[in-house]
């Protein structure tokens, strides 16, 4: 069910104003976003060189609870925690007691009794990370690793970082997001981050069946024509069709029709600026939402997004760890 993103401003911060939970980008100001991005830059290294490591989470335990499939987000949270010195527990949902009918709170309380300090949550239902954050003990932090179709804050942060590395002039920037906007938590968090940074123009391009209500993305411009939406864009982000979230496929274009009208190809990119970058959060469906030669081409920053994902999650975890150590 599509919802407006709740405001978790008060829940995310402790009584000293420190970040305690990371549930949403809504309510997080530009100053903190910039601080997290600057921190993340410190964790980047050249390919082939030793990764940056720290002991800021030494003695802490992170529990990764992914109740939906994930490759990039789960692996990068795992690496981020280990590189900061934490013990990392990856819960296999397919073999967990939730398959036997255990409630999510009983699962959480079990991990709490094992002294898990940080819980990283991905779930298909609205509000689960915040629900858990409201029920855990005060010394535990909860991070949202993807919530239904409404929020994916670390993805929004890594996308912002990737864009800023290319062009930091947000006020004069045009960003075009193409694809299944209606069911995309990636689009939601990207929009929140970009609008906090004062984006010049945010365009959302999709077929009518996948177009969100305008009040879900206030300030964004909605397009159903790819050429018009891509005109003079600085950034082009492709999204896949999230068929697992669509109960009725009536009106959703088939593969050939979708690629012909909304696929990001070398031909369609002629409408964007010559130096426009191409992004995709993954997983990619080559030949549907993006042409293989574009995904692997000189404009693509898709693998850079993956690299930045580890650094961003290290920055967020490190910030949470410092808050814990100051108690």
Identify which of 249, 247, 182 has the alpha carbon closest to the alpha carbon of residue 216: 182
DSSP characters over 61-116: EEEEEESS--SHHHHHHHHHHHHTT-EEEEE-GGGSGGGGT--HHHHHHHHHHTT-
How many whole angstroms separate alpha carbon 135 and alpha carbon 316? Answer: 21
> Residue 79 burial (CB < 10 Å; 0-12/13-18/19+)?
middle
Give residue 88's pLDDT band: very low, low, confident or very high (50, 70, 90): very high
Give residue 84's pLDDT band: very low, low, confident or very high (50, 70, 90): very high
How many whole angstroms separate alpha carbon 157 and alpha carbon 190? Answer: 7
Task: Using the predicted structure, report yes or no on whether residue 214 has a pLDDT greater than 80.
Answer: no
Contacts of 81 (CB under 8 A, 6+ apart): 57, 62, 64, 88, 118, 317
How many whole angstroms separate alpha carbon 233 and alpha carbon 107? Answer: 45
Task: Enumerate domains of the chain plus CATH numbers.
Answer: 9-151+307-325 (3.40.50.1370), 153-305 (3.40.50.1370)
Number of H helices, E strands in the chain: 11, 9
Question: What integer pLDDT is reported at residue 48 of this predicted model?
Answer: 84
To the nearest whole number, what is the mean pLDDT of the chain? 93
Cis? peptide before 32, omega within 30° of 0: no
Q: Which CA distances in Å does 257 have to 251, 263, 288?
A: 11, 9, 9
Range with lowest mean pLDDT among 77-91, 129-143, 236-250:
236-250
Global model pTM greater than 0.75: yes
How many whole angstroms separate alpha carbon 235 and alpha carbon 273? Answer: 9
Per the listing, tokens 């062009």 go with 167
């Amino acid at each position: 069910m599509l919802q407006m993103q709740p405001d978790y401003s008060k829940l995310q911060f402790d009584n000293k104003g420190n970040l305690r939970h990371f549930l949403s980008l809504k309510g997080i100001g530009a100053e903190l976003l910039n601080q997290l991005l600057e921190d993340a830059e410190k964790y980047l290294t050249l390919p082939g060189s030793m990764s940056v490591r720290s002991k800021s989470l030494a003695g802490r335990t992170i529990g990764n609870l992914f109740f939906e499939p994930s490759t990039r987000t789960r692996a990068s949270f795992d690496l981020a925690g280990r590189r900061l010195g934490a013990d990392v527990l990856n819960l296999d949902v397919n073999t967990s007691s939730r398959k036997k009918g255990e409630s999510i709170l009983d699962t959480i309380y079990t991990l709490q009794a094992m002294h898990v300090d940080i819980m990283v949550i991905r779930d298909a239902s609205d509000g689960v990370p915040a629900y858990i954050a409201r029920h855990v003990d005060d010394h535990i932090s909860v991070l949202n690793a993807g919530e239904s179709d409404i929020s994916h804050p670390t993805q929004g942060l890594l996308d912002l970082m990737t864009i800023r590395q290319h062009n930091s002039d947000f006020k004069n920037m045009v960003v075009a997001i193409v694809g299944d906007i209606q069911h995309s938590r990636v689009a939601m968090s990207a929009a929140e981050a970009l609008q906090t940074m004062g984006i010049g123009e945010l365009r959302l391009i999709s077929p009518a069946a996948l177009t969100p209500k305008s009040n879900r993305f206030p300030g964004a411009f909605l397009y159903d024509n790819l050429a018009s939406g891509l005109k003079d864009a600085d950034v082009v982000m492709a999204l896949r069709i999230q068929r697992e979230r669509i109960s009725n496929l009536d009106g959703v274009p088939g593969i050939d029709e979708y690629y012909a009208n909304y696929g990001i190809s070398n031909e369609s990119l002629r409408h964007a600026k010559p130096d426009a970058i191409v992004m995709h959060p993954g997983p990619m469906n080559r030949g549907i939402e993006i042409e293989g030669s574009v995904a692997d081409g000189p404009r693509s920053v898709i693998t850079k997004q993956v690299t930045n994902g580890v650094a961003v999650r290290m920055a967020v975890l490190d910030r949470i760890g410092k808050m814990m150590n100051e108690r």
